[in-house]
Amino acid sequence: MARSAMGPREPAVILWWPETEQAGMGLAFLAGCLTAVILGALMLFREPARWWRLVRWPWLVLGLISLGVTGLSLRSEVLIFPDRLVASGLDRQGYWEELYPFRTAERVEVGCRLASGRGKGTQASLTYRVHFPYGDSFEFRRATTAEEPRTLTNWIKAVSRIDRGALRNASRVSSYEGPSVDCIRTLRRQLDEPKFRAALSMLGISDEAFMRKYAEPHETWRRPASGNVTWDNPDGPAG
């Protein structure tokens, strides 16, 4: 509900997420701790009938400072369009906005990562970071437009559209060994075949490379008349 209210209204937006700087949130946390300490001390060492009159104004001032620091620490949003990335926000110098056309991207880093989910065991996810000139880079987060949920399948659908479009000519960077076998196999079990093909395309893994290095022993493959490899997995995807 909150994301629907905060999300972008432009129909061309493919991905969107709010961006928060950790330094500003740390200052807000420190201010909150100081507020709690001051309130606690006043409540312990002052008469109950007088404590509220003593603390209400310091409490209000520190609360406003905390809100101000938190607000100024927000780079309010990152918008991903089919051909560009737009980052905007508010800092101590005022409002700012920066435009990053995808045609200027220097390279793209794509990886596969394993993590333990709550009650779901080990889950695989993709990482996708775009590097621009002057050292600026952005990792595409697991967030979609306000109308769609934050799922891996929707994220792959959105990012693969950009990967095959405006970023198709960007150079790719990956580790020499490539993604781990466990990560690719876990990803295979999580996704249906179209989404898994899109994930392999982003990772730069060909059908033959998948069957040679990552396929499980019980998986077979065949090449139909269309020229595309079809995988036969008796277990099927996990979701």
Quick count: other Cβ atoms within 10 Å of Cβ 208? 11
Per-residue confidence at 103, pLDDT binned at 50, 70, 90? very high
Structure tokens at 24: 């500003």
Is the pLDDT at 7 greater than 50? The verdict is: yes
Q: Give the model's pLDDT for residue 239.
A: 40
Structure tokens at 26: 């740390």
Residue pLDDT, tens place only, 196-227: 999 999 999 988 889 889 988 776 655 444 44
Residue pLDDT, tens place only, 42-101: 656 655 556 566 666 776 677 667 666 665 555 578 889 999 999 988 766 778 889 999
Cα–Cα distance for residue pair 130/121, rounded to 1 Å = 29
CA-wise closest residue to 87 among 132, 36, 22: 132
Cα–Cα distance for residue pair 156/47, rounded to 1 Å = 60
Cα–Cα distance for residue pair 228/210, rounded to 1 Å = 13
- pTM of the full predicted structure? 0.68
Q: Give the model's pLDDT for residue 57.
A: 72
Is residue 148 within 8 A of residue 86, CB to CB? The reply is: no
Q: What percent of the chain is predicted at pLDDT more than 90?
A: 32
CA-wise closest residue to 138 among 178, 167, 175, 116: 167
Q: Which residues pair with 75 in a beta bridge?
A: 19
Structure tokens at 35: 């507020």
Q: H or E segment at 230? A: strand 230-232
Q: What is the mean pLDDT of the chain?
A: 76
Give CA separation, 120 vs 74, 117, 123, 190, in Å. 32, 5, 7, 11
- Give 211-219's long-range contacts (Cβ < 8 A, gap of 24+): 213/178, 213/181, 214/181, 214/184, 214/185, 214/188, 216/185, 216/188
